[in-house]
Amino acid sequence: DTEVTQTPKHLVMGMTNKKSLKCEQHMGHRAMYWYKQKAKKPPELMFVYSYEKLSINESVPSRFSPECPNSSLLNLHLHALQPEDSALYLCASSLQSNTEAFFGQGTRLTVV
Amino acid sequence: GENVEQHPSTLSVQEGDSAVIKCTYSDSASNYFPWYKQELGKRPQLIIDIRSNVGEKKDQRIAVTLNKTAKHFSLHITETQPEDSAVYFCAALARNTGFQKLVFGTGTRLLVSP
């Protein structure tokens, strides 16, 4: 399995909702990432997990809460989001933090 | 922290022409430079990468060059085809308080006309 799989592909949520994005890889990668990408912009790093521990939080608002239950799974819990949080959320993984990163297909999130 | 600049922001070429995209980085400690291709509505896909101990790397029609002294690296695509049309991002692996993270350039929209 050489894929990073993200679910759901699309998500529409209200500002009072709680939802979660999921990411899974079975390549034995020990670094996993969440990125946010707005239209016509580069991916913007949110969080990095290395060996299931949070190693980088790019000053992301607390309404985004990451979780790494095990070495294959990465979640992003969403609560009380704002319309400006609407974006493509990309998960990525790499063998180590200094090797090539592979992206999932993303979750397109719309906050209404 | 690391800053990556990318030029041009858009590039239009005729099929069969070559395309060159250039990036500069600010942190001399950065040592890994991948290039990603992102088609509309799809994920970024790694197309080629280079490490700081190498000056050039080639993979069929795609090549990347790195000048560590000048802190710039470039993507070269030869014999362009319409399916090369996409947004291309360069990136540099930067160190952040002991951990490494990718910093992306702003992207180049490449349009290859038949």
Average pLDDT over residues B45-56: 92
User: Which residue has 């990318």 as its token pair?
Assistant: B6
Determine the pLDDT at residue B110. Answer: 98
Secondary structure (H, E, C), B32-67: EEEEEEECCCCCCEEEEEEECCCCEEEECCEEEEEE
Q: Measure the CA–CA gap between A91 and A89, rounded to whole angstroms.
A: 7
For residue B90, what is the nearest residue in chain A, using CA coordinates? A42
Question: Using a CB-CB distance cutoff of 8 angstroms, which residues of chain B are in contact with residue A56?
Answer: 96, 99, 101
Q: How confident is the model at residue A1 (pLDDT cuts 50, 70, 90)?
A: low
- Percent of chain B having pLDDT more than 70? 97
Q: Please provide residue B3's backbone torsions phi and psi, each rounded to the nearest 5 degrees.
A: -130, 130
Per the CB < 8 Å rule, is A55 touching B99? yes
Question: Using a CB-CB distance cutoff of 8 angstroms, which residues of chain B are in contact with residue A98?
Answer: 31-32, 93, 100
Helix (H, G, I), strand (E, B) or coil at B83: helix
Question: Using a CB-CB distance cutoff of 8 angstroms, which residues of chain A are in contact with residue B107?
Answer: 40-42
Determine the pLDDT at residue B98. Answer: 64
Q: How confident is the model at residue A98 (pLDDT cuts 50, 70, 90)?
A: confident
Determine the pLDDT at residue A107. Answer: 98
Angle at A83 between CA A12 and CA A103, to 5 degrees: 65
